[in-house]
Amino acid sequence: MKNQQPTKFGMMWGMIFFLSLSFPQISEAGTYLVKRGDCLWKIARMHRTSVQELQKLNKIKGTLIHPGQILKVPDPLNHQKTNQTAAERINPISRQQSHPARKEDSDVITTARRFIGIPYRYGGACPETGFDCSGFVQYVFSLHGIKLPRTASSQAATGIQVADLAPGDLVFFSTEKTGLIDHVGIYMGNNAFIHASRSKGITITPLQDTWYGPRYAFARRLL
């Protein structure tokens, strides 16, 4: 009987050691084969994660990927935790309780500026294919770990509505007689916003613009 005790302990510690080695591998075991027409944003959305997380997992700095490339993707077991974190970031209550020094705003603006000149494309959500207005906003914020809905009208329900605009706020417009929100951009400061224009692609426009000015509806703050 005495000789069996070390064997039981040995088996127990061996199992613990095995599980400790296996657990980290399980958390990042998923892979994805890049197909023609894919972009990081599309893959991130498919796996319920962010572009930033994909870049971190795969140790890539830009957004350029190519067909046949194998990317690491988060384990589905971690998706719930990731989604909760993103949701907390756009929760109106948490925004009011912990208003930052707004370094995040300048980072978002810097990111948005990188895409100036990218052409407009209806339904577009990647720099490789072009952007529509809400696809552009969604993509920029995804690079900073914030998940937004796909359409301008849905994005208009996120964050908190503000009257005094600050860089990084979302600005919304109603361009049709229906009165519905159908256009969105990112406020840059100095009464200007960056957005995806049908005629100019990603561009900077004054809020007092003769066309957009009268159609401005409101602004909402995420950061």
CB atoms within 10 A of CB 57: 15
pLDDT of residue 38: 79
For 120, residues 6+ apart whose C-beta sits below 8 A from its C-beta are 130, 131, 132, 196, 197, 198, 199, 200, 201, 202
Asked about 66 being catalytic, the answer comes back as no
Q: Are 39 and 138 in a shared domain?
A: no
pTM: 0.60
CA–centroid distance for 80 within its chain: 16
Catalytic residue among 39, 47, 126, 133: 133
**Annotation marks residue 183 as catalytic:** yes
Last residue in a domain, options 60, 87, 114? 87
- Write out the residue range of the structural domain in which residue 37 sits: 1-87
CA atoms within 13 A on the CB side of 175: 13
Q: Are 59 and 112 members of one domain? A: no
- Choose the weakest-confidence range: 79-83, 94-98, 123-127, 186-190: 94-98
Percent over 70 (pLDDT), the chain: 74
Q: State yes or no: is 133 an active-site residue.
A: yes
Q: What is the pLDDT of residue 22?
A: 39
Q: Which residues contact 46 (CB under 8 A, 6 or more apart)?
A: 32
pLDDT at 2 over 80: no
Domain CATH for 144: 3.90.1720.10
Report whether pLDDT(76) > 70. no
Question: pLDDT tens for residues 10-67?
Answer: 555 555 444 443 333 333 458 888 887 778 877 877 777 878 888 889 988 877 888 8
Q: For residue range 172-209, list pLDDT tens digits in order.
A: 999 998 889 999 999 999 999 999 999 999 999 999 99
Query: For position 23, what pLDDT does the model report?
Result: 37
Which of 53, 47, 58, 51 has its CA nearest to residue 80? 47
Distances (CA, A) of 68 to 30, 33, 44, 84, 128: 16, 6, 17, 32, 17
Statement to judge: residues 81 and 171 lie in one domain = no
For residues 81 and 126, state if they share a domain. no
Instruction: Tell me the C-alpha distance between 196 and 184, whole Å.
Output: 8
C-alpha–C-alpha distance, residues 104 and 182, integer Å: 26
Tens of pLDDT, residues 155-168 = 999 999 999 999 99
Region 129-145: mean pLDDT is: 95
Structure-block tokens of residue 9:
């302990």
- Whether residues 95 and 110 fall in one domain: yes
Catalytic residue among 39, 47, 126, 183: 183
d(CA 100, CA 86): 16
Domain boundary, last residue among 62, 87, 112:
87
In this predicted structure, what is the pLDDT of residue 19? Answer: 42
The reply to whether 69 and 153 lie within a common domain is no
Q: Which of 99, 91, 38, 92 is nearest to 64 (CA)?
A: 38
The CATH number of residue 23's host domain is 3.10.350.10
Question: Within this chain, do residues 36 and 80 fall inside the same structural domain, yes or no?
Answer: yes
From 39, 47, 126, 195, active-site residue: 195
The verdict on 149 and 124 lying in the same domain is yes
Total domains in the fold of the chain: 2
Domain end marker among 61, 87, 113: 87
